[in-house]
Chain A
Amino acid sequence: MLKSFRFLFLIFMFFWISFSSYADEKKLELPTGRLIDNFDEFVATFSSKKCMECHEDIYHEWEKSFHARSMVDSIKGIANFFTVGVPKEWQKELNKEEVLKCLDCHLPQVRYATERLALEIAELMIEAKKAKEAKDEARFKRAVAKLSKLNISCYACHNIVVHRAAPGWFGEPDPQTIYTANEDVEAEHPTEYTPTLKSAAFCAWCHGVYVASDGESTMCNTLSQSYYHGYISLGGRKTCQECHMYAKGRGHRFPGGHDLEIVKEGLDFQAEIKGFRYGVGKWIPAVNVEAFLTNRAGHRIPDG
């Protein structure tokens, strides 16, 4: 009897230990407000892979998006700012405040990095650019392997920048909460319904003229001004999400200028061609072409 009891107790202990440690692994660990100094800890804290366990489909959509490549796809432009813009043109020291002028949008989590780690990440971008220029494939791959772990992760939009469109109104987001555009959510982690995620103003914070805390402006090729002044002002009423997210199940892939399907959707083309003879008495072969190119998008093309 005692032997059976011991056996059952051991089995119980085995499963309890196994499942409790499994549960710990799955637990969503969110930032505590302290700054992170270690690269690997920084990556692990904000990795979208943590969300994949429950949101696999969305993770795979996001994985194909340019948000998932926000650093590796912008190496040249960002590294130029760090090596030319800040030190040579502005004669300033590269520090976290300057790094934020790019990474506040390209890697919003960098707000949780220490000054040292922010500079380590900046150095990685510089290293990748230098390696590419030197055509040193191995060196470039090493830098890119680390940089590809940095991106606009789930937590960036669903927490860090969620209230940026109106910080005075909403206040600072709670680091432990995942903000969502869905009203009815049951999750292991705290959630809060935030309709702002469905607004153009939410996207425009980064997809527009970025104004840093010192007043310096940055203009990337993703300006939203034409959306407000050339589309909304003419009666357009769609949000960014309606075309780039909700339509055709595009979801968190957010296709844009890199996706020929959506580019084609945004443009219409027609051409009328007529051959004739020009010049009375001379009758020279001539051609008249009338081409009509319509921008059906909610913003200028190219851009968006």
Chain B
Amino acid sequence: MTAKDPRSDKVLHQEKREFFEIGLDIEGRMRYGAWQIKEILDLTLPPIKTREERFLFTLPKDTKEAIIEVKTYYCIKGSKCDLIYSEKKEVTYPEL
């Protein structure tokens, strides 16, 4: 989720949520090898469930407008991520 100043393209605020698994060996240490992993710390999206994520933040005091973009990426590997969904909205803050 990114909030940007549409005039300068400057990032005003950024947050992300990641859903993945951490493989643990029998001593509880993070591992990558399939033969080493004996337990899973499951941080993935469970089947047939909706996950709600809330982002609540303030912007610099002089902000007049901002483009808020929420994107969902699917990463098959750490280096290869594809954009799956995107929602964008411009928010404005008229002079008080």
Chain A positions within 8 Å of B63 at CB level: 285
A66-116 at interface with B (beta carbon < 8 Å): 77, 80-81, 84-85, 89, 101-102
Say whether A219 contacts B46, CB under 8 Å.
no
Smallest beta-carbon distance B84→chain A, Å: 6
A283 touches B36 (CB 8 A): no
Which single member of A219, A258, A284, A300 contacts B76 (CB below 8 Å)? Answer: A258
Interface status of A297 (Cβ within 8 A of chain B): yes
A275 to B72, CA, bound (A): 21
Majority-rule SS of B interface residues? strand
A297 nearest CB across to chain B (Å): 6
**Within the complex, what minimum Cβ distance (angstroms) separates A278 from chain B?**
6
Contact A287 B57, CB 8 Å, known A89-B36, A273-B87, A293-B45: yes
Which of B3, B36, B85, B93 is the one whose CB lies under 8 Å from A269?
B85
A226 to B49, CA, bound (A): 12
* B47, A298: Cβ atoms closer than 8 Å: yes
Are B36 and A267 within 8 A (Cβ)?
no
Do residues A285 and B93 form an inter-chain contact, with CB atoms below 8 A?
A: yes
* Among candidates A85, A258, A288, A300, residue contacting B54 with C-beta atoms closer than 8 Å: A288
**B47 partner, pick from A84, A217, A227, beta carbons under 8 A:** A227
- In contact, A275 and B35 (Cβ under 8 angstroms): no
Q: Which of B35, B46, B51 contacts A101 (CB 8 A)?
A: B35
Complex Cα distance A291/B85, Å?
11
Interface membership of B53, Cβ < 8 A: yes
- Tell me which residues from 271 to 303 in chain A have a Cβ below 8 Å from any Cβ of chain B: 271, 273-275, 277-278, 283-303
* Complex CA–CA separation, A59 to B20 (angstroms): 34
Q: Would you call A190 an interface residue if the criterion is a C-beta within 8 Å of the partner chain's C-beta atoms?
A: no
Taking a contact as CB atoms under 8 Å apart, the answer to whether A283 and B96 are in contact is: yes
Known: A219-B23, A260-B74. A292 touches B58 (CB 8 A): no
Contact of B55 among A226, A289, A298 (CB under 8 A): A289
- B23 / chain A contacts, CB cutoff of 8 Å: 219
Closest residue of B by beta carbon distance from A234: B48
Q: Which of A247-284 touch B at CB < 8 Å? A: 257-258, 260, 263-264, 267-271, 273-275, 277-278, 283-284
Residues on the B chain within 8 Å of A267, using CB: 45, 72, 74, 84-85
Question: What distance in Å separates the Cβ of A208 from its nearest Cβ neighbour in chain B?
Answer: 12
How many whole Å from B67's CB to the nearest CB in chain A? 10
Q: How near does chain A come to B96, taking the closest CB pair, in angstroms?
A: 6
Pair B47/A275 contact, Cβ less than 8 Å: no
User: A264-B84, A267-B72, A299-B47 given. 13 additional CB < 8 A pairs?
Assistant: A81-B34, A220-B34, A267-B85, A285-B58, A285-B59, A286-B56, A286-B57, A287-B56, A292-B52, A294-B51, A302-B75, A302-B76, A303-B21
Seen from chain B, the residues whose Cβ lies within 8 Å of a Cβ on chain A are 1, 3, 13, 19-21, 23, 33-38, 40, 42, 44-61, 63, 66, 68, 70, 72, 74-76, 82, 84-85, 87, 89, 91-93, 96
28 contacts between A and B (CB under 8 A): A80-B33, A102-B34, A216-B35, A219-B40, A226-B46, A230-B48, A236-B48, A263-B84, A267-B45, A267-B72, A273-B87, A277-B96, A278-B58, A285-B91, A286-B59, A287-B13, A288-B56, A289-B1, A291-B52, A291-B53, A291-B54, A293-B53, A295-B48, A295-B49, A298-B48, A300-B42, A300-B44, A302-B20
